[in-house]
Structure 1
Amino acid sequence: MLYVKYRYQDTVKVKFLKNLDVVSCTALSLYNIIKQYFNDNNVRLERMIMWTSDGAEVMLGKYNGVQARLKVDSPFLLEQHCVTHREALATKQAFAKVSYMSKVEGIVKAIYNHFSRSSTRQENLKDIFCVLDQKEIRMKRVHDIRWLSLGEAVTAIVRSYDVLVAYFSGESKSGKDPTAMGILSAITTYRDLLGKLNSLNKALQERNIRPSDAGRSVKRTIDSLRERYLTAADDAITWGPSMQKLLSRLPDMTELHGNKEESQKLFTSDVKHLVSELNINLQHRFPDTAFVNNFDIFVPALFPEERSVLYGVDQIEELYRRYRTLLPAEDLETISDEWDDLKYCLKESYLNCSQEEFCLDLTVDPVKRQQYPNMAILAEMCLVMAASSAEVERGFSQTNLIKTKQRNRLSAQHLDMLLRVKLCYTGLQSLDATKVYNNWLQAKRRRLIFDNPHSSDSESDMDC
């Protein structure tokens, strides 16, 4: 499934392009299909700036992956491992390295299964919500392929904490459910930590997010986690509000949870270990040395408060070295002088603008494009760089909704048409019904039957 990010006039768009009919899943086969599609539609591959996909070897393999083969046709192509996939992998690896926290997902699944498989248990839980005068909250299912599902499931458990405690306490003491005691001992979860990760994940799924935006979002999350969980002494943590609320309940449940101090020590050691591993994984997967970070010079908010002659000089040099055959500048000195003029204009006129607003104005405004031709080309590259393939994942979700078990014989062509209607639909106001009818009529020979009492038999039965 192909998506494209491009600039159209003064707007940056991300659109569904084509559901390709794939015969083989090898890198060579995928490359040939993609190249053939672009050639058939008169699109020059050398104009492709970035290739973004998941981290599969067939896609991003250094020597034989699809991106490596595309670089033969487009030497300026940058490969990008989807930032949302990277964040999910970093989180998964961090959880796997902490023995206690690796069980959290299983615990959450156990709580969901405990209620989903019994209508009696669901009714009992609902009764406790009513008794405690709380709004009923449904337990959430954890989906392995949905990035936010674990955090949402944990949030549902934390918000239902009082009700779950009352339910499992009753079940344990009555002896009705032998697994209730074990589940209750692991209900305490880390909603604050997962909340930060979910917030980061949602930011990385934004439609027009650029690689440099993603890097800054990850850095803010790393700094926030470090400040909250790792700056205190070895035996202490500055717990978030949700965790403080959970810990305050432990003294009233020593029979079920054990000693409060022992519980806090367990939480402290596990959470510190988890956050340390998480920060290490995020830093490894989002390095500050990435080439795309050179485009941060086009972010007005990052411009230094005091005028600096040296600001952006190194980044401009790196960009010139890579794209010099695409730029009209004859040498590095020419483009450096152009940047020197532009950055003071940026400071004075665009300080409150976003990177997209600044780059669009520089690209679209004919006066500025003529005045800063090299910067306009670099700004346009920055605009169309795609950091995430989340939009493609949404396309896959729509595919699963359309091509169900009952419609498994849908061809790739028909599936592409249905996806185009679903994903590119703009409303009936812009639909030309006559044009649609004529296209349908001309697609193949059709037998048209007109229900007209005044027409003859020969007129009412026509082959077209």
Structure 2
Amino acid sequence: MERFLKRKASTPDCNNNGERPSGSNLRNDLPSMISEVDLNNLPSDPSERKSISQYHPNQKDEIRRKYLIKGPCQPRGHDFPRRIIGNKARRFNPAWFDQYGNWLEYSLKADKAFCLCCYLFRDQCGGQGGSDAFLTEGFSSWNKTERLTTHVGHINSFHNRAVKKCEDLMRQDQSIAVAFHKQSDIQKNEYRIRLNASVDAARFLLNGALPFRGHDESETSFHRGNFLELIKLIRDQNEVVGKVTLGNAPGNNQMVAPSIQKDVVHCFAQEVLKYIFQEINDDVFSLLVDESSDISKKEQMAVVLRYVTRGIVKERFVGLVHVKDTNALSLKSAIEFLFVEHDLSLKKIRGQGYDGSSNMRGKFNGLKTLILRENSSAYYVHCFAHQLQLVVVAVAHKHIEVGKFFDMIASLMNVVCASCKRSDMVRESQKEKVHEAIGSGETETGSGLNQELSLGRPGDTRWGSHYKTLKRLVDLFPSVIEVLQYVEDVCENPYSQRQANGLHIYFQSFDSVFYLHLMLHILGVTESLSQALQKKDQDIFNAVSLVKSTKRQLQQFRVDGFCRLLEKISSFCEKHDIETVNMEEIYVNPKNRRHKTNITYRHYYEYECFNTIMDMQIQEFGDRFDEVSSELLTCMAALSPHYSFCDFDPSKLLRLTEFYPDDFSDDERTTLEHQLPLYIDNVQHDELFANLKGMSELGRVMIETRKHLVFPLVYRLLKLALVLPVATATVERCFSAMKLVKSTLRNRICDDFLNACVICAVEKEVLAKVTNQDVMTRFQMMKTRRNQLM
């Protein structure tokens, strides 16, 4: 045979001479060759794809189907670049997507057009007939629009034959596998019931972030976990479902295998993302990104998009991205890959929200800088909630006594919460004191009152945790002192005894009570701001207004708050038998008691402690929240509906359009200048626009009253103000869901399965809108299935 047939050198299992390597076995090598292609990470940009002929024959149809399910790469919202062609500036026309929507796609990186159908079946349609421009080279002659029609050609052209093959591939009921596997209507109905039961079971587990197969969520495990138990429960509750789900079905067609579970979960995640991107609808949005390591120490990057739909601000989680390197270039590449996969463009970003890490906000090579180089309108806002936490931490680090106080708090948590026994002692002691207070009439009773309390450890990354810890310490103070006394007297460990003794002495001192109440008040003032910043629909102007109000409260407390603070401290000391200090006596420096200070205790605590700490806090506020005074936010303030639009200023709104040159043309700026007086007169005399609390409510009411159609340019400005991010609280919630899905026992879950589960666990509202029929339809299209739905 070698005389008549020559072995191909391009065969994957052969070397350059057309011979298979020594020691290799085609049957053994086939699975490894097939597994090399990750179907979930196929390049979406047409210019980055390799030829279909380079893939293994057994995977070609799966790859084609994957691309056809996704559809052509059509970034409709992209700002297509212009080039001088024939003495005119020309560009790709997005209207071509509507005219040739089933095959035309655009490469963001190459700025060229391609044909999806011809790419998928190039190796099966014979001669190309002049189609190379849309296959390998890419079409970029934007002045020759007739080339698009020429590419389609006559009825039997290369392109039309490729389109017909695409349609035939997706028409599974005519495939060879289905033809050999004849099904009756009864079998099809039973298959639908089995598949529907699997979809119901997967929905329940995804909604609760529950494991599918117990402790081992790896690729090949088949443990009898929650999924099979749910299928059994469905079978027991519904006799018809039970009859066909696990009873009469063939052993290899029960729709419960791990691969089936993964496919169903993937379909749910894709339907959730489809809903989200349909809501965005090629409109502007903001990008929120943060990094965190999962339980297996893999670095995961969570991506959240903030956008406005029908006047309502929404923040939606769109995926976890596993990044090997955490440098800014790797992060940007991962974001670009995600965007291209879902036909999004970096040009549509109007805001960036990250934490304060250098790889995110770096001035020269940070992620925000790399995106700003491509899109100057993607304004960066440092997470307000993160900055607020840094304000508290900064003061603790700068002031010696405050830093010492928080160090002692950390030591106190280590001693009191070191064991369950000590924690129970705190709770039992508190319970007894509550019963005594109720018996003596000192405490009222009622629903929600006198709840069981416990101490919690503060953390720099847990917003508001310091405030909760100090608040509980005030409530549980006598119980905590009792536990310290118990450890000091009974504990056999000398180190623990010394530690408890030092803590007991410190927290029974006037200094500890002073800093406890001072920091409790400061954290209490900032706690309201922290909670407000973590709302998903919080707009940037309201956030800035709250920051200013908080700063004013701190300034006011700095002026007249010392006396009120002193009264609280004296009352607390008297209640818990703590020795107070005579404020009129001469202050004695504990470091050098023989040295006369010539100042009173009042002077020391008021000026050297209270005023110094408050000044540091106020100064840190001004340094951290530098966005508050930026010109961009000052111009946005003119949109505020507060006090009957008293801040409305047409000149500021016209200036605001200059910050977004890609969103407003010169003609639209002129139109807006004439539209603004009519707009303000209209809304000020409309009762529905009275007493609005923020710009988010203004957007909602404009949609309800259809004024967004009358004043579209004003509404566009409002959307640009609403999409600016405030805090990354939504991203932090995604990490909380990730830790529920990928727990210590489920640390073998693969990245794709993890991503799909987290998307569904976070976006439960969207998951509830996904129908079983949509999931089953996508499931059938993923692969060639012998069984067909009715």
TM-score category of the 2 structures, normalised to the smaller one: 0.7 to 0.9
CA deviation string 1:86-126 (max 9, x = no partner): 11112211222211111232222222222222455445544
Query: How far apart are the structure 2 equivalents of 1:325 and 1:439?
Result: 37
The equivalent of 1:273 in structure 2 is: 612
Match of 1:225 among 537, 545, 554: 554
Secondary structure, counterpart of 2:356 in structure 1: coil
Structure 2 residue 477 is matched with structure 1 residue 161: yes
Structure 2 residue 672 is matched with structure 1 residue 335: yes
The equivalent of 1:412 in structure 2 is: 751
State the one-letter code of the partner of 1:83.
F
Unaligned 5+ segments in structure 2 are 1-301, 436-449, 492-496, 588-600
Secondary structure, counterpart of 2:389 in structure 1: helix
Q: CA deviation at 1:387?
A: 1.2
Secondary structure, counterpart of 2:667 in structure 1: coil
Secondary structure, counterpart of 2:434 in structure 1: coil
Q: CA deviation at 1:78?
A: 0.8
Match of 1:181 among 470, 492, 505: 505
- 1:319-358 to structure 2, matched below 5 A, reads 319-330=656-667, 334-349=671-686, 350-353=689-692, 354-358=694-698
Q: CA deviation at 1:37?
A: 1.7
Q: CA deviation at 1:297?
A: 1.4
Structure 2 residue 529 is matched with structure 1 residue 200: yes
Query: How far apart are the structure 2 equivalents of 1:107 and 1:265?
Result: 25
8 Å contact kept, 2:573–2:579: yes
The equivalent of 1:115 in structure 2 is: 416
The equivalent of 1:34 in structure 2 is: 335
Structure 1 residues 346, 434: CA separation in 2 closer, same or farther (over 3 Å shift)?
Answer: closer
Structure 2 residue 353 is matched with structure 1 residue 56: no
Query: How far apart are the structure 2 equivalents of 1:19 and 1:412?
Result: 8
Structure 2 residue 384 is matched with structure 1 residue 80: no
8 Å contact kept, 1:22–1:30: yes
Question: In terms of mean alpha carbon deviation, does 401-410 or 172-181 score higher?
Answer: 172-181
Q: CA deviation at 1:82?
A: 0.7
The equivalent of 1:298 in structure 2 is: 639
State the one-letter code of the partner of 1:359.
G
8 Å contact kept, 1:141–1:149: yes
Secondary structure, counterpart of 1:63 in structure 2: coil
- 1:254-269 to structure 2, matched below 5 A, reads 257=579, 259-261=581-583, 267-268=605-606, 269=608
Secondary structure, counterpart of 1:406 in structure 2: coil
Query: How far apart are the structure 1 equivalents of 2:484 and 2:602?
Result: 22
State the one-letter code of the partner of 1:54.
D
The equivalent of 1:458 in structure 2 is: none
Secondary structure, counterpart of 1:49 in structure 2: strand
Q: How many residues align?
A: 437
Query: How far apart are the structure 1 equivalents of 2:671 and 2:772?
Result: 54
Structure 1 residues 121, 267: CA separation in 2 closer, same or farther (over 3 Å shift)?
Answer: farther
Structure 1 residues 329, 110: CA separation in 2 closer, same or farther (over 3 Å shift)?
Answer: same
Q: CA deviation at 1:426?
A: 3.4
State the one-letter code of the partner of 1:320.
T
Query: How far apart are the structure 1 equivalents of 2:697 and 2:603?
Result: 49
Query: How far apart are the structure 2 equivalents of 1:445 and 1:144?
Result: 52
The equivalent of 2:737 in structure 1 is: 398
Structure 1 residues 166, 429: CA separation in 2 closer, same or farther (over 3 Å shift)?
Answer: closer
Q: CA deviation at 1:195?
A: 1.0
8 Å contact kept, 1:54–1:85: yes
Larger Rg: 2
State the one-letter code of the partner of 1:192.
H
Question: In terms of mean alpha carbon deviation, does 294-303 or 25-34 score higher?
Answer: 294-303
Match of 1:424 among 763, 768, 786: 763
The equivalent of 1:452 in structure 2 is: none
The equivalent of 2:564 in structure 1 is: 239
Structure 1 residues 362, 304: CA separation in 2 closer, same or farther (over 3 Å shift)?
Answer: closer
8 Å contact kept, 2:383–2:728: yes
Query: How far apart are the structure 2 equivalents of 1:122 and 1:19?
Result: 37
The equivalent of 1:460 in structure 2 is: none
Unaligned 5+ segments in structure 1 are 449-464
State the one-letter code of the partner of 1:346.
V
Structure 2 residue 434 is matched with structure 1 residue 150: no
Q: CA deviation at 1:201?
A: 0.9
The equivalent of 1:312 in structure 2 is: 649
CA deviation string 1:20-53 (max 9, x = no partner): 1323211111112211221222113212111111
Structure 1 residues 427, 375: CA separation in 2 closer, same or farther (over 3 Å shift)?
Answer: closer
8 Å contact kept, 1:403–1:410: yes
Secondary structure, counterpart of 2:394 in structure 1: helix
Secondary structure, counterpart of 1:376 in structure 2: helix
Structure 1 residues 122, 58: CA separation in 2 closer, same or farther (over 3 Å shift)?
Answer: closer
Structure with greater proportional helix content: 1
Query: How far apart are the structure 2 equivalents of 1:409 and 1:126?
Result: 38
State the one-letter code of the partner of 1:411.
C
The equivalent of 2:313 in structure 1 is: 12
CA deviation string 1:346-385 (max 9, x = no partner): 333223123112234446765x345423212111212222
State the one-letter code of the partner of 1:316.
L
CA deviation string 1:254-311 (max 9, x = no partner): 7x54524367665534232222111111112223422123211121115566xx9xx5
- 1:61-140 to structure 2, matched below 5 A, reads 61-119=362-420, 121-122=422-423, 124-133=425-434, 135=450, 136-140=452-456
8 Å contact kept, 2:331–2:367: yes
Structure 1 residues 440, 198: CA separation in 2 closer, same or farther (over 3 Å shift)?
Answer: same
Query: How far apart are the structure 2 equivalents of 1:426 and 1:440?
Result: 21
Q: CA deviation at 1:192?
A: 1.9
8 Å contact kept, 2:329–2:367: yes
8 Å contact kept, 2:456–2:468: yes
Match of 2:573 among 250, 262, 272: 250
Structure 1 residues 124, 425: CA separation in 2 closer, same or farther (over 3 Å shift)?
Answer: closer
Query: How far apart are the structure 2 equivalents of 1:7 and 1:103?
Result: 46
Structure 1 residues 314, 184: CA separation in 2 closer, same or farther (over 3 Å shift)?
Answer: farther
8 Å contact kept, 1:209–1:387: yes
Q: CA deviation at 1:402?
A: 2.0
Structure 1 residues 405, 163: CA separation in 2 closer, same or farther (over 3 Å shift)?
Answer: closer
State the one-letter code of the partner of 2:464.
L
8 Å contact kept, 1:52–1:81: yes
CA deviation string 1:171-212 (max 9, x = no partner): 879997533223433652122221112221111111111222
Query: How far apart are the structure 1 equivalents of 2:423 and 2:658?
Result: 64
Query: How far apart are the structure 1 equivalents of 2:743 and 2:490?
Result: 45
Structure 1 residues 416, 260: CA separation in 2 closer, same or farther (over 3 Å shift)?
Answer: farther
8 Å contact kept, 2:537–2:696: no
State the one-letter code of the partner of 1:207.
K
TM-score (norm 1): 0.83
Q: CA deviation at 1:69?
A: 1.8
Question: In terms of mean alpha carbon deviation, does 114-123 or 188-197 score higher?
Answer: 114-123
Structure 1 residues 280, 441: CA separation in 2 closer, same or farther (over 3 Å shift)?
Answer: same
State the one-letter code of the partner of 1:225.
L
